[in-house]
Structures are given as C-alpha cells and as structure tokens.
Amino acid sequence: MKKILVTGVKGQLGHDVVQEAAKRNIEAVGVDIEEMDITNANQVRDVISNGNYDAVIHCAAWTAVDKAEEMVDACRKVNVDGTRNIAVVCKELDIPMMYFSTDYVFDGEGEIPWKEYDERHPLNVYGLTKYEGELEVEQLDKFFIIRIAWVFGINGNNFIKTMLRLGKERGSVSVVNDQIGSPTYTYDLAKLVMDMIVTDKYGVYHATNEGVCSWYEFACEIFKQAGMDVKVTPVDSSTFPAKAKRPSNSRMSKEQLDKNGFDRLPKWQDALGRYLKEIL
C-alpha cells in the first residue's frame, strides 16, 4: 500500500486518517468537495483513475442528521449516489474501498449489542441513506464497511465541543439519558483504519471506543475531566423532540474486530481525556 485517496479531508475523520497515513509513510491524498465533489460522477472517475491509488478511504458524507429529514434528496445524493460513484470506479480498477457507516442503520430495539451482520432497519433519513450507501459498497469484492458512532475529532464540531460551550455559557445543561452507545475518537479510529487498509481482511466491522454510556453520562464525564462545575440534568428524549428519531440502543458488538485479529479501540473515558488535553 503506497498511495491512498481520502475523501472528506476537511471533516473530523478524514483529517485524522491523512495525519495517521503520513506517520506510516503512506502517501495519502486528501480531497474535499472543492477537489472532488462526490456527487459528480465524471469528476470522481477522473480523480480516482488519474491518481494511481492503491485504495480509497471514503470519509465524506452528509452528516447533518436532523436537516436530512427535510432535505431527503440532497442527503441521498451525497450519501448514496456519491458513495456509488466511488464504488463503481474502485470496482473497475479493482482497488479496495473503505466506507464509514453508523449505528443509525439499526432500529435501536432491545439492549443487546448489535452484531455486524444483524438485520438493518434505520429509523431516520440519514440512517437510511447510510444503509443504502452500505448496499452500494457491498457490490465490491474488496470493501471494508466500518460502523462508528458519536464521533469526535479535533477537526470539526461535535458533542464534546457543544457541551464545553454550553457549560461555559449557562453553567447547567439538560442531556438525554435514554440513548445508550459509545463515543468514537477519530484519532484512535484512524490508527485502526491504517492497520486495516493494508490487509485483505475485508468485511463489515464495528469500531467505537470501548465501554458504553448514555449522552447524560458522557456529558458528566466531560465536565468532570475538564474540571468544570456544571449542573447536568438527565432527561428523556421526549424532552427534546428532534426532527430525526434516534435509536435508544446503540451498543455495538466488536466480534469481527476480534475474529480478524484487530485491536479494539481504547476505553471512551481514556479517549476523552486525551482529546481534552488536545483541545483545552
């Protein structure tokens, strides 16, 4: 593996994947909408075909979950058509493609961790388009689908940055306590991504940081580790009616990581601590 293309380089994950590749002496070319609008099939074909890439790591996406409920076509264009445009060229060139998906492909019923090959049944438009993107990627022989959740990275906005801001501005926050999942630190994920892409252990994986929590518990830990005295009130999702329905159970099994000999990501509290050191 000498040269890879990374889409969504201006986002949280794409940024960290390019950084990690550089540490491993793999040439990573990062592109975003300016260099390669993934909804433009011709441009996608030109960029990928002319770059002599050994793999494509596809981090670009429409990630505005609530906005997707009203802008269904625009979201589908990026997450489904955009993903197909890349998949088609990767298939023709016979190079592997890595795609990032989400816990939102599941309906969140029950309390058992979702296994990688469980039936998918998304509850909202974003989840549906990410699921349809998975179907496009599954057309390839050489693909990785990595489902992640509650993503945070240096390069972009996320729950942690929002909590720190609200905590500072208001001194108190109300946070939902009935959605359980695991945060994913892009710095940790990027290492796994680079471990994986040099192998032929294709398939579907879950790769969040270890351990589970509710958003309320996540917020409490953020303020504790940041040394901020903020009152956090646990509330039900019904208190904050969002446009897009969220799954209540986002626990993710790591069976496929274990089976294929990949390291699980560190505990989420540890990831949070390292992240806060970077941004505070």
Ligand X SMILES: NC(=O)c1ccc[n+]([C@@H]2O[C@H](COP(=O)([O-])OP(=O)(O)OC[C@H]3O[C@@H](n4cnc5c(N)ncnc54)[C@H](OP(=O)(O)O)[C@@H]3O)[C@@H](O)[C@H]2O)c1
Q: Which of residues 86-125 bind ligand X (CB under 6 A)?
A: 100, 102
Nearest residue (CB) to ligand X, 156 versus 203: 156
Instruction: Rule CB under 6 A: say whether 182 interacts with ligand X.
Output: no
Name residues whose C-beta falls within 8 Å of residue 235's C-beta, 6 or more positions apart in sequence: 174, 175, 176, 177, 216
How far, in Å, CA of 273 to CA of 179, rounded? 22
Instruction: Rule CB under 6 A: say whether 75 interacts with ligand X.
Output: no
Tokens 């960029």 correspond to 47
Instruction: Rule CB under 6 A: say whether 179 interacts with ligand X.
Output: no
126 catalytic residue (yes or no): yes
Instruction: Rule CB under 6 A: say whether 150 interacts with ligand X.
Output: yes
Q: Active site residue: 99, 104, 126, 187, which one?
A: 126
Hey, CA dihedral for 275, 151, 246, 181, is it positive or negative?
negative
Shortest approach of ligand X to residue 119 CB, angstroms? 19
Count CB neighbours of 49 within 10 A. 12
How far, in Å, CA of 280 to CA of 277, rounded? 6
Question: Please, is 182 exposed, middle or buried when counting C-beta atoms within 10 Å of its C-beta (0-12, 13-18, 19+)?
Answer: buried
| Residues 18-47: x where in contact with ligand X by CB under 6 A, - otherwise, as a string | --------------xx---xxx--------
Instruction: Rule CB under 6 A: say whether 180 interacts with ligand X.
Output: no
Instruction: Rule CB under 6 A: say whether 181 interacts with ligand X.
Output: no
Applying CB under 6 A, the residues found at the interface with ligand X are 8, 10-13, 32-33, 37-39, 59-63, 78, 82, 100, 102, 130, 148-151, 156
What residues are labeled active site? 126
